Each structure stands twice: as C-alpha cells, then as structure tokens.
Amino acid sequence: MCRAKFSQLISIEQEIYCIEESQGRSLVDQPDLFSAYEKDYCQNKPTPSVSAAGLWCAKQAFIKAAIHLRLEKFNYLDLEIRHYPSGKPRVKLYGHLARQFKEQNIDLDVAIAHTKTLAVASVLLWQALPHNEMV
C-alpha cells in the first residue's frame, strides 16, 4: 500500500535473478553489497542464498529506477532492504541519497518474491504530493 498519493510517477523497474546455490552464497559474502542487517537477515533464513538473491534484485531494481533521477553517485550500502514486522520489505536510504530523496519529495515502494530457483523484485519511485495537497 502506498504511503502517499503520487503526483508524478518517476519509474517502475524490475530485476530477475536465476538462483544457483554457489552464486547465492557468494552474494551474502560480498563485503560491499549487503549491510550487517541484510547479511544477518539472510543468514537467519532457511535458504540464505534465496533471500540474498531477493535482496540483490531489490537493490538492482532500485538502481535501475533511480537512474532516471539526477543523483550523486551512490553505492549498494547507501540503500538497505529492511522489513516491517509483517515481513513486507522496505528500502532505507542513507547519507546523501536519503537527503536527495527528501529534498526532491520522492518516495518509493519495493516488492520481492522468490522460488527456490528464481528471485524477482520491483521498485516504484514517485514524487509525492506535499502533505497540504493530500486529500
């Protein structure tokens, strides 16, 4: 569910990843790909490689969507895939990336799904209406 009505859709992007067990493990072990939270999240799942593939897809979909914006350079650790108590994923932004999204009044949503062999994620970016214009 969207947290705000959007006045301008910026981008919807997806990423799909074919999971191979050995590649999935190496994703979790990449030092500059996942935060400590994300690594812990994956390692506490029954199949860490599948969870890592889902998080990686979400980050890739975000990068594809964000390319439509004029942003300063950022890396994988400037965005983190976290989860609400319900399990729904969300993107947490850090540093100048968070500042730029706030300044431009941009909001986003993410969805992640996977099977044992395939992971997919979608990211939606929109420019939110100012609070005084929301109905």
Domains and CATH numbers, the chain: 6-133 (3.90.470.20)
Question: Using one digit for the tens of pLDDT, what is the confidence trace for 17-42?
Answer: 988 755 555 688 888 999 999 999 99
The average pLDDT across 70-83 equals: 91
The SS3 of residue 133 is: helix
34 or 1, higher pLDDT: 34
CA distance 66 to 13: 9
Give me the residues paired with residue 15 across strands: 121
CB burial of 69-82 (b: ≥16 within 10 Å; e: otherwise) equals eeeeebebbbbbbe
Give the pLDDT confidence score for residue 5 in this predicted structure: 58
pLDDT band at 4 (very low <50, low <70, confident <90, very high): low
Please give the full DSSP string across 43-111, using - where no structure is assigned. HTSSSHHHHHHHHHHHHHHHHHHHTTS------GGGEEEEE-TTS-EEEEE-HHHHHHHHHTTEEEEEE
